[in-house]
């Protein structure tokens, strides 16, 4: 038996392991909560590792550094395992401040050179959550304004409160609406004041699974 990339043991003659997709978040709760549900859904087809932000208020550069380290680990393992399908993604919010937006774009360039994919959200990940509920590319003053709209649309859609803490919301309610969110985000990407590339991650995972993720 030898340890594999999941930290468990498997016989050395076992067929190639599942593809590994590492998702490094720039927050510690919200995106982690959403993608942990997806991790469970796709576990028979691939291994999805959801990594929390390295610290509270992590910078785009800090998130990309973690992602680049993960990519190096996967590359090192590929000498003994088939790494086809393996990928590392970083989620980065552009927020509102021009300084943060510049940092995010620079971090995305650095990540690309290291083979790391980056999904940007303007202004924040909650634009992806909102896309499940309503089709809008409107301008938001800040991330808090996006969350306020999410709460209103959530109540309208499900008849229940979103909750005071984003990470504790029941994101399983959004799963049947994921394809709708993806189509909306494709139309909105960078053509409106608010947009997100998170749909690209879901598309990538769906392609590896060879099925729609509904």
**pLDDT tens per residue, range 89-98:** 999 999 988 8
pLDDT tens digits for 65-113? 999 999 999 888 765 455 568 999 999 999 988 888 999 999 999 999 9
Main-chain phi, psi angles of 17, to 5 degrees: -70, 175
Confidence at residue 81, expressed as pLDDT on a 0 to 100 scale? 53
Mean pLDDT of 43-59: 91
Report helix, strand or coil for 22: strand
Number of other residues whose CB lies within 10 A of the CB of residue 151: 16
d(CA 2, CA 7): 10
- Does 181 or 29 have the greater pLDDT score? 181
d(CA 46, CA 211): 12
Report helix, strand or coil for 186: helix
Please give the DSSP secondary-structure letter assigned to residue 115.
T
Examine the pLDDT at 173 and tell me if it is beyond 80.
yes
Confidence at residue 166, expressed as pLDDT on a 0 to 100 scale? 79
d(CA 210, CA 187): 23
Angle formed at CA 181 by CA 124 and CA 48, multiple of 5 degrees: 75
Report helix, strand or coil for 60: helix
Examine the pLDDT at 176 and tell me if it is beyond 90.
yes
Mean pLDDT of 19-23: 95
Confidence at residue 3, expressed as pLDDT on a 0 to 100 scale? 46
pLDDT tens digits for 27-50? 988 999 999 999 999 999 999 999
Examine the pLDDT at 149 and tell me if it is beyond 50.
yes
Query: Confidence class of residue 2 from pLDDT cuts 50, 70 and 90?
Result: very low
What number of H helices and E strands is found in the chain?
7, 7
Alpha carbon 194 to chain centroid distance?
17
pTM: 0.87
Name the nearest CA neighbour of 123 among 105, 103, 97: 97
**Contact partners, residue 170, CB within 8 Å, separation at least 6:** 160
Q: What is the dihedral of CA 167, 58, 191, 116, to 10 degrees?
A: -100
Rounded percentage of the chain residues whose pLDDT exceeds 70? 88
Confidence at residue 49, expressed as pLDDT on a 0 to 100 scale? 96
Task: Give, in order, the Cα–Cα distances in Å from 193 to each of 22, 43, 94, 134.
Answer: 29, 35, 12, 15
d(CA 40, CA 111): 27
């Amino acid at each position: 038996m030898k340890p594999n990339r999941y930290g468990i043991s498997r016989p050395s003659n076992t067929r190639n392991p599942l593809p590994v997709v590492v998702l490094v978040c720039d927050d510690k709760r919200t995106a982690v909560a959403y993608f942990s549900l997806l991790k469970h859904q796709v576990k028979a087809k691939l291994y999805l590792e959801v990594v929390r932000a390295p610290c509270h208020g992590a910078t785009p550069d800090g998130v990309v550094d973690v992602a680049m380290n993960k990519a190096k680990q996967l590359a090192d393992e590929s000498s003994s395992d088939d790494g086809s399908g393996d990928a590392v993604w970083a989620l980065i919010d552009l927020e509102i401040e021009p300084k943060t937006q510049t940092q995010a774009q620079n971090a995305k360039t650095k990540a690309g050179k290291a083979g790391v994919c980056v999904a940007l959200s303007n202004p924040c990940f909650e634009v992806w959550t909102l896309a499940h509920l309503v089709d809008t590319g409107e301008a938001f003053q800040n991330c808090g304004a996006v969350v306020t709209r999410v709460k209103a649309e959530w109540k309208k859609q499900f008849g229940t409160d979103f909750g005071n803490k984003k990470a504790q919301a029941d994101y399983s309610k959004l799963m049947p609406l994921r394809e709708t969110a993806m189509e909306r985000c494709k139309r909105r990407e960078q053509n409106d004041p608010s947009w997100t590339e998170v749909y690209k991650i879901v598309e990538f995972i769906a392609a590896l699974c060879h099925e729609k993720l509904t």
